[in-house]
Structure 1
Amino acid sequence: MAQAHLEPWHERDLDLLRQLNSPETRRHTGGPETDEQVLARHDRYVRFADSGQGCMFTVVLPDGARAGSVGYWAREWREQQVYELGWAVLPAYRGKGLATVAVLAALEVARGRRDRRYAHAYPSVDNPASNAVCRKAGFTLLGETGFEYPPGRMMRANDWQLDLTAPPTGS
Structure 2
Amino acid sequence: MGWPVLRARFGERLEESTLDKLDVAVAFAVERHGEQRRPAGEPYVEHLLEALEVLVDAIGVRDADTLRAAVLHDVVEDTDTTIDEVRARFGERVAELVGWVTKSEDRQLYLQSLRNAPDAALAVKLADRLSNVQRLRTHPRPEKRASYYRETVATIVPLAAGRGWFEEWYRDWQEEHADLSSPRE
| TM-score bracket relative to the smaller structure | 0.3 to 0.5
Higher helix fraction (1 or 2): 2
Higher strand fraction (1 or 2): 1
Larger radius of gyration: 2
Q: Given the two structures, how large is their TM-score scaled by the length of structure 2?
A: 0.31
